[in-house]
């Protein structure tokens, strides 16, 4: 009799589970009917949650970001001191997006975009959407409309500090309007976050830094526009020049820029890269490529000499870069090998995290 009791209990539990599944299915159907398809789903079935990326144009920075670039469908904040390379980095990302066939928009709140410089960075200015809004509300409304259209892949706002609220513009000089810009940003980001995710659009907010008064300990720097952007941003990049300008003779030709990943919700944060920012042409991708190829032992370095295979390509990094620059096919070959090395390492790390053998081990 005890056995019959167990069977009866088992049947009643399975029946209850079946009823629950039917009730859940009915509830999900009702939610989709009321709020649209995709309003609710099982996590494993939602392919939209896979994070896509737009390359920054720098292999080192793509590697530091962990997913091959900035996240689509998310918000990225690029901030730092003046003339550090923030806008240059944003334009480089736009150029990569356009090369991949995407559509880009640039909201120039600072009214300072230089089309000739953008072209030098590889931006297709003929097809770049540009807006120079009169106030902060207008800028963010334009941004929301572009994102809601689902027709753009990336929107850049330059900069948060220049998003002046309408009330401040219409008021008198010297009027005190505390917290107005912070409230504007908080409201806009609440509206934008969900729409960006649904349309898989990347948003970049360029921001400036200020110094907090009376800070004795810790970092006195803070960004403008309140705290909302810090919370909503999936990635935050600190971009600033380090050291002195690099010179050829008496002429300054480039700077070294340090980019630190301060926040990253989709990969480990706090990684740093140092890139060469050449005046007039942007970040030196070849210099970055040679550095990575040398680090990965694809290009051999013995003393000051660089060699690839049996071929010596230069004494000193500058000569190695010049050698590769004259041979586009060699550059492409090195880029493919470096990219493959990065992807294989990421695949091995992902397999280790999941407790699976690496791909080559599984094949063997």
Say how far residue 41 (Cα) sits from the centre of its chain: 27
Quote the CA–CA distance of 213 and 225 in Å, as a whole number: 16
Whether 282 has a binding-site annotation, put simply, is no
Whether 194 has a binding-site annotation, put simply, is no
Whether 80 has a binding-site annotation, put simply, is yes
SS3 call for 360: helix
SS3 call for 254: strand
Whether 82 has a binding-site annotation, put simply, is yes
Q: Could you tell me what percentage of the chain is helix, strand and coil, using 3-state DSSP and rounding each to the nearest 5?
A: 45, 25, 30
- The candidate with the shortest Cα–Cα distance to 288, out of 303, 278, 302, is 278
Neighbours of 138 (CB within 10 A): 16
Helical H segments across 222-315, by residue range = 228-232, 285-295
Whether 230 has a binding-site annotation, put simply, is no
Contact, 317 vs 293, CB < 8 A? no
Whether 83 has a binding-site annotation, put simply, is yes
Quote the CA–CA distance of 97 and 94 in Å, as a whole number: 5
Whether 333 has a binding-site annotation, put simply, is no
DSSP character at residue 52 = P
Whether 225 has a binding-site annotation, put simply, is no
Annotated binding site: 80-87
Annotated binding site for ATP: 80-87
């Amino acid at each position: 009799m005890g056995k019959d009791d167990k069977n009866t209990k088992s049947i009643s539990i399975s029946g209850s589970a079946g009823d629950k599944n039917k009730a859940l299915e009915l509830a999900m159907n009702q939610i989709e009917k009321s709020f649209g398809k995709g309003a609710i789903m099982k996590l494993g079935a939602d392919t939209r949650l896979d994070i896509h990326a737009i390359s920054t144009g720098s292999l080192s920075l793509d590697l530091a970001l962990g997913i091959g670039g900035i996240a689509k469908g998310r918000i990225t904040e690029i901030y730092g001191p003046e003339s550090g390379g923030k806008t240059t980095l944003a334009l480089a990302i736009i150029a990569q997006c356009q090369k991949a066939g995407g559509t880009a928009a640039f909201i120039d709140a600072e009214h300072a975009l230089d089309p000739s410089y953008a072209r030098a960075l590889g931006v297709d200015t003929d097809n770049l959407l540009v807006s120079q809004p009169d106030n902060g509300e207008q800028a963010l409304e334009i941004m929301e409309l572009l994102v809601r259209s689902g027709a753009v892949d990336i929107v850049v706002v330059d900069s948060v500090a220049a998003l002046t609220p309408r009330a401040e513009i219409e008021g008198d000089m010297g009027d005190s309007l505390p917290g107005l810009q912070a409230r504007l940003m908080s409201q806009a980001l609440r509206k934008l976050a969900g729409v960006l995710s649904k349309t898989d659009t990347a948003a970049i907010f360029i921001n400036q830094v200020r110094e907090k008064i009376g800070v004795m300990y810790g970092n006195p720097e803070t960004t403008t526009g309140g705290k909302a952007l810090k919370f909503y941003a999936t990635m935050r990049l600190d971009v600033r020049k380090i050291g002195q300008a690099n010179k050829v003779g008496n002429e300054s030709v480039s700077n070294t820029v340090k980019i630190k990943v301060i926040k990253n919700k989709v990969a480990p944060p706090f990684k740093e890269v140092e890139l060469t920012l050449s005046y007039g042409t942007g970040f030196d991708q070849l210099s970055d490529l040679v550095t990575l190829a040398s680090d990965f032992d694809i290009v051999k370095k013995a003393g000051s000499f660089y060699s690839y295979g049996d071929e010596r390509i230069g004494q000193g990094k500058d000569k190695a870069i010049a050698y590769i620059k004259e041979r586009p096919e060699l550059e492409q070959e090195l880029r493919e090998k470096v990219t493959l090395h990065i992807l294989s390492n990421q695949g091995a790390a992902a397999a280790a995290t999941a407790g699976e053998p690496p791909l080559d081990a599984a094949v063997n």
